[in-house]
Amino acid sequence: MQRPQAVTHALVDGVRYPDALRRLYSRDDIEDIEPLYLMTRWASLAEQGPILVRLKSSRLADDACANHDSNVYRSLSLLSSQASTSELSRHLGQFVTFNGEGGHEQLLRFADPLVTRHWLSSYESALPAGILGPIDTWWVADWAPNWAEPRPVTWQAFQSHLRQASPSVSEASTFPPMGNAQLAALEAMARWQLKERLTSYFREHMPEHWQYLPAQKRGRWLDERLDAAAAWGANTERQVAIWLSLSLRWGDDFISARDGLYDRWMTQIDGHQPLSRQEQLYALDVWSRSQETPPESIAQVSRLKNEDTHG
């Protein structure tokens, strides 16, 4: 594994590192602490925002690289720079907001390593030198999502390339430059987070059904079910969670199967006032709790296992 070298600073995400200021000030291996929101209109959220710290020793970096506590490497990234803390702070302060679609200003949670990794990776080999500025190397942890098989954590090193950036980036009129690839990367990151929240829910509330899904197929299954939910009309996280829960319990075809869950429910309510699709989903979820798990859902699990066995 490539290990971070010559680390001088850490960029801590206050949301991922709860009670951040107290914990950081209590350490004796940190020299400077600069909450980057402090001089912005989000000063009241300074402890939950990005916090730049200069390291006296490698202890915090070693803790992150040891991989013993995922809460550490998921809450910070590591920087190598010859610049002062104040110079780095001014540079990173340019990333607090960006112009999204339609030119609307949005916060960029660039201290969250998951956001950082998706964002910086989206520039591929055309990472503009201006993004890193005085940063020689920006080290970000790369870990497996919770729906996949565990794997060792690695560290991705981002370094500037002096070659010309791609036109979609170099022609941007604002900083940081956010082209279509960067916006798509942030959407992919948000989808990753949603899939992890759904996985945590299934593990806690539907463990028997979740464990029947082969681990290597869970990511694809989640993506396919999310797409199907959106196509149906599920447009809130609660509605999406209901759709995926019904799919997991009753089978992916619970809506379309003849004599399936939806078909039987429609027969049950025949003659009642029509509901919107979103209202149907809520009502179907409530009604399904009074039904027994159909054999078809077990058959679907068997098909998944057979597909996995036979490639």
What are the sequence ranges of the domains in the chain? 9-178, 206-310
Q: Low-confidence residues of the chain, pLDDT below 70?
A: 1, 161-173, 271, 273, 292-311
pLDDT of the residue at 218: 97
Q: Look-up: residue for tokens 């993004």?
A: 131
pLDDT of the residue at 248: 96
In tens, the pLDDT along 56-94 reads 999 999 999 987 778 899 999 999 999 999 999 999 999
d(CA 13, CA 33): 13
Residues ≥6 apart with Cβ < 8 Å to 184: 122
The dihedral formed by the CA atoms of 68, 70, 76 and 79, expressed in degrees to the nearest 10 = 40
Q: Do 77 and 111 contact (CB within 8 A), yes or no? A: yes
Q: Which of 282, 301, 309 is nearest to 208 (CA)?
A: 301
* pTM score of the predicted model: 0.86
pLDDT of the residue at 111: 97
